Chain A
């Protein structure tokens, strides 16, 4: 029996599963860093979030009578991203609510993978941020880790002291207080880059995030344009505002947001020029929120706002078709 179909008859092996699997692999270094710096509790947060995401997606798809596509890995990514955006000492039900909200409302009720306007993990995070404001803004740093207790799987309570994040210290007390806290500027940069500072469990280690990001570039899953333009915009603008640009790019969730959330396929513009507008917009919003709003950090809000603008960017910014004089097809109708 001969089968027939319209050409092409071959396909690249890089399907959705390939992309999602690679994103998950790329998140492993940040996961390991989170466990190293914040103990086994971070691992539990991550496991619980991923399980919630998988469960929520399966139940929702069964309920909506859709094919269950949880094996494509996109739900697991959402769960892990929510966990990465949690402070280390957060009660376990908070990431559960955030993940469930992201998957059920933002992803599945909008039509599933590909139809969501906003990044599900970020909406979940922003929601719980307002719902549990004290818990979401209490930051802990591990207290002289006792390594055996630190890595004991059942040791889920953190031995820690409460400490403000570097961005909050900078905002409230100024840069000099921060430098004295770390000893020297070099120490501040180095510890920020390695991840030995207060913050969300997955965002503090820029080194781990970079390793994952370069893996994704090498597998051609994401492209460097948006993250680098975003980070450079933040550096330039903070420098213009009289702040320390290196400190700003190494602090907070900028790297995690730039490499793992601003590069989400579904919620970012499709054209290269659209991506540039998107990335510069992200940088602009992040700096405004960090320096001029009541919040110490602005990466999540910036990405969500630019997610909302993405359909408009895609509508307005078009590429000139081969052989056409002007950029818009409708001029030729």
Chain B
């Protein structure tokens, strides 16, 4: 593999090295979790407006059938993940800990198998490809859940030169992207080619953190010279997989404040999203399942599981088992993932992991008992966007939210590095989130 030069790169400013804890599930290959008896499918699994339900209570739906139609530009379609009967449409707890509308489907009837033939996509036009991605309801699976068809439909006045594949997976504990790269390299490369055609870019960068070296080597074996995909080894540092940090590390460019990656000629997508794009374009397969890392010291059978969208956490626990009562359940990684209040909370398109923390692990973190800022400046050192988190947290503490704009509050990426290092356990990101929502409300 001589044509692949692997260069180690990183963003320079800030970042932290939390314990990786990836070994819990690192070697566990992807397994299917049994179908849930009841799927609670949120109509809002994406950034924009919730989808509009197109089924009624009592309807029979089949696997992959459209049940929620997208509403507006940044919305996305929602499909049934199992075959069964709609038993309820109403508010249920979702990852954001607010009740939002969900369609509940009771499992019943036969499951149809997917068509196994591999069709040719090269004859599809740009519009047809985008149409298929949109119809399959693909959204960003790294966590942000931005509708992928919108992201890949670059406005004609913007020029995109680079496509960046995000295989960094910098959040501790998570290994679902790593397993995907190990087990589906061909599929990912094929997905990259589809997106390359769509964006009409010459150059693709594929960034993987060095703690996933086997994946890097594995992908390298599946690349051909004409693919023009450059593999990039990224230094292990959180938040290496943040869009802005990845662009800085690979292109050495900064996304302008308030701008988007295509302002610097780049589009970034996560490997799981690329895999979903490929399934959508080739097989017209909607997003009804995803790979989720189920992890934590108290999980009996931790691993990387293919889980149907809408599977409630209680079903996941029933299948993977726990050795003790969890004190906290986090959807995603421990740095940015929300913690849930209900065991009925379903897995959604944006759920990359389910992390169970024990009472002991939970007790170590006590942001509720924070103390005065001692101006140690550790937060300034670790902030990947060079903010002054110390001043922001002081303004938040004094509730002088107006002053927070003077410290560029809106540029905060909420990665949580400042919280992680703060010796006074100050809830800095929490103050910033509060300030942001206050300022947004004010307009």
CB of B89 closer than 8 Å to a CB of A: no
> Is the C-beta of A322 less than 8 angstroms from some C-beta in chain B?
yes
- Identify the stretch in B57-65, B302-310, B423-431 within 8 Å (CB) of chain A at 4 or more residues: B423-431
From A318, which residue of chain B is reached at the shortest CB distance? B388
Which one, A107-115, A150-158, A209-217, A236-244, is touching chain B?
A: A107-115
**Out of A15, A18, A329, which one reaches B407, CB within 8 Å?**
A329
User: Which of B34-42, B206-214, B372-380 lines the interface with chain A?
Assistant: B372-380
Q: B97 near A: Cβ within 8 Å?
A: yes
Q: Mark B1-34, 1 if CB is under 8 A from A, else 0.
A: 0000000000001001011000000000000000
B90 at the interface (CB under 8 A from A): no
* Cβ contact of B372, chosen from A2, A112, A319, cutoff 8 A: A112
The answer on a CB contact under 8 Å between A4 and B335 is no
**B363 smallest CB distance to A (angstroms):** 10
Q: Are A321 and B411 in contact, CB atoms less than 8 angstroms apart?
A: yes
Establish whether residues A11 and B339, one from each chain, have CB atoms under 8 Å apart when the complex forms: no
Contact assessment for A2 and B327 in the assembled complex, using a CB-CB cutoff below 8 Å: yes
B259 within 8 A of partner (CB): yes
Q: Is the CB of B364 closer than 8 A to any CB of chain A?
A: yes
Interface size on A, residues (CB 8 A): 41
Interface: A16 (CB within 8 A): yes
A181 touches B (CB below 8 Å):
no
Determine if A3 and B255 form an interchain contact, defined as CB atoms under 8 angstroms apart: no
Instruction: Decide if B420 touches A8 in the complex (CB within 8 Å).
Output: yes
Docked Cα-Cα span, A212 to B215, in Å, equals 43
CA distance A270 to B392 in the complex (A): 13
Q: List A274-333 residues whose CB lies under 8 Å from chain B.
A: 318-324, 329-330, 332-333
Could you say which of A12, A19, A271 contacts B380, with CB atoms under 8 Å apart? A271
Closest to B329 in A: A2
**A265 x B416 contact (CB < 8 A):** no
Candidates B335, B340, B375; contact of A114 at CB < 8 Å = B375
Q: Are A3 and B327 in contact (CB under 8 A)?
A: yes
A322 lies within 8 A of B424 (CB)? no
**Is B338 positioned at the interface, with any CB of A under 8 Å from its CB?**
yes
Chain B residues near A14 (CB-CB < 8 A)? 421, 423
CA distance A66 to B388 in the complex (A): 28
**Within 8 Å CB of B442, what residues of A?**
none
Which A residues, 1 to 32, have Cβ-Cβ distances below 8 Å to chain B?
2-16, 18-19
Chain A residues within 8 Å of B16, by CB: 12
Using Cβ atoms and an 8 Å threshold, which residues of chain B touch A12?
16, 18, 420-421
CB distance from A61 to the nearest CB of B (A): 13
- Measured between alpha carbons, how far is A6 from B432 in the docked complex, in Å? 11
Residue in A closest to B404 when the chains form the complex, CB atoms: A329
Q: Which listed residue, A2, A69, A270, A329, touches B408 by the CB 8 Å rule? A: A329
- Closest Cβ of chain B: how far from A233's Cβ, in Å? 21
Given contacts A323-B259, A324-B411, A332-B257, whether A8 and B375 have CB atoms under 8 Å apart is no
> Do A4 and B97 contact each other (CB < 8 Å), given the known contacts A322-B411, A324-B411, A329-B407?
yes
Decide if B285 is an interface residue (CB 8 Å cutoff): no
CA distance A112 to B421 in the complex (A): 21
- Asked if A266 CB lies within 8 Å of chain B CBs, one says yes
Asked whether A114 lies within 8 Å of B13 as measured between CB atoms, the reply is no
Residue among B19, B256, B374, B387 with most chain A CB within 10 A: B374
Report yes or no: A3 in contact with B339, Cβ–Cβ below 8 A: yes
A10-B341 in contact (CB<8A): no
Q: B326 on the interface (CB 8 Å rule)? A: yes
CA distance A270 to B327 in the complex (A): 36
Interface size class of B (residues with CB under 8 A): 35 or more
The CA-CA distance from A69 to B371 in the complex, in Å, is 10
Could you tell me the dominant secondary structure of chain B's interface residues? loop
A321 touches B387 (CB 8 A): yes
Contact of B365 among A9, A18, A115, A332 (CB under 8 A): A9
B342, B376, B427: which contacts A6 (Cβ < 8 A)? B427
Q: Which residues in window 297-350 of B have CB below 8 A to A? A: 326-330, 334-343
B254 at the interface (CB under 8 A from A): yes
Question: Distance in Å from the Cβ of A263 to the closest Cβ of chain B?
Answer: 10
Q: Which of B357, B372, B385 contacts A9 (CB 8 A)?
A: B357
Residue contact B375 to A11, C-beta cutoff 8 Å: no
B contact residues around A267 at 8 Å (CB): 375
| Most B Cβ at <10 Å: residue of A114, A318, A323 | A323
Provide the residues of chain B in CB contact with A113, threshold 8 Å.
371-372, 374
- Residues in A with CB closer than 8 Å to B19 are 10
B258 to chain A, nearest CB (A): 8
Closest to A324 in B: B257
Contact for A11 among B172, B341, B357, B365, CB less than 8 A = B365
Q: Compute how far the CA of A15 lies from the CA of B335 in the bound complex, rounded to whole angstroms.
A: 18
Interface residues in A103-159 by Cβ distance below 8 A to B read 111-115
Q: A9-B357, A18-B423 are in contact. Are A322 and B338 (CB under 8 A)?
A: no
Taking CB as reference atom, which chain B residue is nearest A16?
Answer: B423
B13, B248, B419: the one within 8 Å of A8 (CB)? B419
Does B436 reach chain A (CB closer than 8 Å)?
no
A4: B residues at CB distance < 8 A: 97, 328, 339-341
Residues of B within 8 A of A271 (CB): 377, 380, 388
Contact status B341-A2, CB under 8 Å: yes
CA A271 to CA B372, docked complex, whole Å: 19
A266 to chain B, nearest CB (A): 5
Report the minimum CB–CB distance from B273 to chain A (whole Å).
21
* B433 contacts chain A at the CB level, 8 A cutoff: yes
| Chain A residue, CB-CB nearest to B384 | A322
In the assembly, what is the distance between CA of A108 and CA of B373, in Å?
Answer: 15
| CA distance in complex: A269, B376 (Å) | 9
Q: Which of A11, A19, A115, A332 contacts B425 (CB 8 A)?
A: A11
Docked CA distance A332–B258 (Å):
11
In the complex, what residue of chain B is closest to A271 when comparing beta carbons?
A: B380
Q: Which residue of A lies closest to B313 (CB)?
A: A2
Judge whether B113 is part of the interface by a CB distance below 8 angstroms: no
* Bound: A13/B18 CA distance, A: 10
B406 contacts the other chain (CB 8 A): yes
In the complex, what residue of chain B is closest to A115 when comparing beta carbons? B372
In the complex, chain B residues whose CB is within 8 Å of the CB of A5: 328, 339, 365, 367-368
User: In the complex, A115 Cα to B372 Cα: how many Å?
Assistant: 8
Taking the complex as formed, is B405 at the interface, i.e. its CB lies under 8 A from any CB of chain A? yes
16 A-B pairs in the complex with CB atoms less than 8 angstroms apart:
A2-B327, A2-B342, A5-B367, A8-B335, A9-B330, A10-B172, A11-B422, A16-B374, A16-B424, A111-B372, A115-B372, A270-B375, A271-B388, A322-B244, A323-B256, A333-B406
**Nearest 9 interchain pairs by C-beta:** A8-B416, A114-B372, A322-B385, A270-B377, A265-B376, A323-B257, A114-B374, A9-B334, A329-B408
